[in-house]
Chains A and B, each alone.
Chain A
């Protein structure tokens, strides 16, 4: 471990909140880094590589979240991850309904 963990605090701007699609994108990206990724909401902390735990944050638009990354690739990771957290999402593209059978 070179140095302490790095942190960034961002505000959720996605009108749908931090869920489903942003969580998928975040966890997928987090999984590519070697170090630990932690997300804080107030004093609650969850594993940033676990979509399950991220969902339990139930972070709506306007919530402040802090991403914390440790490990050798922390420097690159923390910026990229903070960007996903703060992303407003693709406009005009609601979550797709479940596909019909076929």
Chain B
């Protein structure tokens, strides 16, 4: 069993056979053969092997003729390797003993050796792994012939594993057959990640090199909640995921009945349960699950992959689509651009290399340095506000001065629109995200300047504990229930209450059932979560009273370490609604 950690881009858990797409797009299916066919399969392997040997000899001759004997010698080695008695014996035993199809046996055995060579990682020996992969391909080419299997023609559900998927490849995935995907490359804002949201299948990206450790057909778990890919899970892991998945499915089907019911606690306190979206069409995903509106509309996709900045019309078109889906009554909180400079290189302004991008020029800082871009988005948001309950939110504000600067620019844009006679909502609510510790500490000051707060827990946790959760060496420090984080959240809630403004939580913490009791107990009455998580959070809200949540919170806050708090919360949540805790 091997556990790989990456960036989760769509939640959910899938257990299934891997479909590995290598650079040539070969698919190596794990097929079993009937016992009476085993000898025929061994013969098929021998023929494939013989054909690969002929091919390598052909190559040797051609290369020797063209380039000289010493180059041809490489293929001598290939010929020898393809006929290696040990390899041959291992592959044949794999076919006989496991009943594997020849392709799968070849792939498993050769990848096993290639991994050994990579491990020996010393000079010329390590580089021989590449030769083995080459030889594997040569054999597979000969075994599979032209029957290369296409993604479009899947007939069993699979988990797609790839170095990267192009947007068109991702778009071609059929969610009925592809139940999850995981890639070596990519990050949270990569196209692949964005497509995962549109497909609504569990997905993890940015796993680093791992494809050499898998063969097609191997059992793989993609845990889109935690950002894990588990290769060849042991029985215990598999069983625990299987149980969680089954009960989750059963639970989920019961959840659809919740759609029409309000997110209200047992003692009648109404909680605003909103959805986080990235694409306009996800507004439908929110409504299908009975959300009260959109609490976080990320607008980054508008900026990605374009040759030029999006126009005002492009912004407006996207916003109006969301409003049309939600209707004029439901709120939509539009967050202004929240990208790092690295993700935001345009032909006119290539990105400067930053040594510490998370402490660098990103998000609202970038917008304040690029006013035409900022104003274009503000104009579109204001214009959209004439059509529905639109609210604007600034991300990554770290000082009062920054917030005031944003507001000043917004006021300028309003004056421009007024002068042009363009309608907009003059009372457009303005909010700021609280995701930098300095903003949390100064929350009572900031509260006087805005209509609402939204706590972005992902960054708040990362900045407070100075820990990158995608870095395995420090990931354990990253804990939303760390007492330091909780103290900051309480300060923010208290500041908002004192000023009489609303406060929302829109990070992943709000979509994780384990923290729902705590958030309610700390006084939060608004949560914004991934559409997928809406039903279970609603179910949990409807299963507790505020009094109960407060009692749990009081006790949790008395604990001294994040780990103790996490364990306690998990236990308490399980007591109330066992199905939601994985």
Q: Which residues of A contact B (CB under 8 A)?
A: 16-17, 19-21, 24, 27-28, 31, 47, 49-53, 55-56, 58, 93, 95-96, 98-99, 102
Chosen A-B contacts, 10 in total, with CB atoms closer than 8 Å, are A16-B124, A17-B124, A20-B124, A20-B128, A24-B80, A47-B85, A50-B85, A50-B87, A52-B87, A55-B125
Q: Which residue of chain B has the shortest Cβ distance to A99 in the bound complex?
A: B71
CB-CB under 8 A from B77, the residues of chain A are 20-21, 24, 51
Instruction: Please give 13 more A-B residue pairs, beta carbons under 8 A apart, in addition to A28-B80, A58-B120.
Output: A19-B124, A20-B77, A50-B84, A50-B87, A51-B77, A52-B113, A55-B128, A56-B116, A58-B122, A93-B70, A96-B70, A96-B74, A99-B71
Cβ 8 A contact of B74, one of A19, A27, A50, A99: A99
Question: Which of B83, B84, B113 has the most A CB atoms < 10 Å from its CB?
Answer: B84
Task: Say yes or no: B74 contacts A55, CB within 8 Å.
Answer: no
CB-CB under 8 A from B125, the residues of chain A are 19, 55, 58
CB-CB under 8 A from A17, the residues of chain B are 124
Interface string of B46-69 (1 = CB under 8 A from A): 000000000000000001001100
Supposing A20-B77, A95-B124 touch, asked if A53 and B70 sit within 8 A by C-beta, the answer is no
Q: How far is the CB of A19 from chain B (nearest CB, A)?
A: 6
Interface string of B4-16 (1 = CB under 8 A from A): 0000000000000
Interface of A, helix, strand, loop or mixed by DSSP: loop
Whether, in the assembled complex, B26 has its beta carbon less than 8 Å from a beta carbon of chain A, the answer is no
Whether, in the assembled complex, B76 has its beta carbon less than 8 Å from a beta carbon of chain A, the answer is yes
CB-CB under 8 A from B67, the residues of chain A are 99
CB-CB under 8 A from A19, the residues of chain B are 124-125
Contact count band on B: 20 to 34
User: 3 closest pairs, A vs B, by CB?
Assistant: A50-B86, A96-B70, A99-B71
Task: Say yes or no: A49 contacts B85, CB within 8 Å.
Answer: yes
Whether, in the assembled complex, B176 has its beta carbon less than 8 Å from a beta carbon of chain A, the answer is no
Whether, in the assembled complex, B3 has its beta carbon less than 8 Å from a beta carbon of chain A, the answer is no
Instruction: State A21–B128 Cα separation when bound (angstroms).
Output: 12
Q: How far is the CB of A102 from chain B (nearest CB, A)?
A: 8
Task: Say yes or no: B80 contacts A51, CB within 8 Å.
Answer: yes
Q: Which residue of chain A has the shortest Cβ distance to B69 in the bound complex?
A: A96
Task: Say yes or no: B86 contacts A53, CB within 8 Å.
Answer: yes
Instruction: State A99–B66 Cα separation when bound (angstroms).
Output: 10
Instruction: State A52–B125 Cα separation when bound (angstroms).
Output: 11
Task: Say yes or no: A96 contacts B71, CB within 8 Å.
Answer: yes
Whether, in the assembled complex, B301 has its beta carbon less than 8 Å from a beta carbon of chain A, the answer is no
CB-CB under 8 A from B128, the residues of chain A are 20, 55
Instruction: State A24–B56 Cα separation when bound (angstroms).
Output: 15
Task: Say yes or no: B73 contacts A21, CB within 8 Å.
Answer: yes
Whether, in the assembled complex, B210 has its beta carbon less than 8 Å from a beta carbon of chain A, the answer is no
Q: Which residue of chain A has the shortest Cβ distance to B134 in the bound complex?
A: A98
Q: Which residue of chain B has the shortest Cβ distance to A98 in the bound complex?
A: B74
Q: How far is the CB of A57 from chain B (nearest CB, A)?
A: 10
Task: Say yes or no: A51 contacts B84, CB within 8 Å.
Answer: yes
Q: How far is the CB of B502 from chain A (nearest CB, A)?
A: 63
Instruction: State A53–B89 Cα separation when bound (angstroms).
Output: 12
Q: Which residue of chain B has the shortest Cβ distance to A51 in the bound complex?
A: B80
CB-CB under 8 A from A58, the residues of chain B are 120, 122, 125
CB-CB under 8 A from A49, the residues of chain B are 85
Q: How far is the CB of B556 from chain A (nearest CB, A)?
A: 54
Q: How far is the CB of B32 from chain A (nearest CB, A)?
A: 26
Question: Which of A27, A31, A51, A52 has the most B CB atoms < 10 Å from its CB?
Answer: A52
CB-CB under 8 A from A24, the residues of chain B are 73, 76-77, 80
CB-CB under 8 A from B117, the residues of chain A are 55
CB-CB under 8 A from A95, the residues of chain B are 124
Instruction: State A47–B87 Cα separation when bound (angstroms).
Output: 11
Instruction: State A58–B116 Cα separation when bound (angstroms).
Output: 12
Q: Which residue of chain B has the shortest Cβ distance to A100 in the bound complex?
A: B67
CB-CB under 8 A from B81, the residues of chain A are 51-52
Instruction: State A64–B499 Cα separation when bound (angstroms).
Output: 81
Q: Which residue of chain B has the shortest Cβ distance to A24 in the bound complex?
A: B77
Task: Say yes or no: A99 contacts B63, CB within 8 Å.
Answer: yes
Q: How far is the CB of B269 from chain A (nearest CB, A)?
A: 67
Instruction: State A21–B70 Cα separation when bound (angstroms).
Output: 10
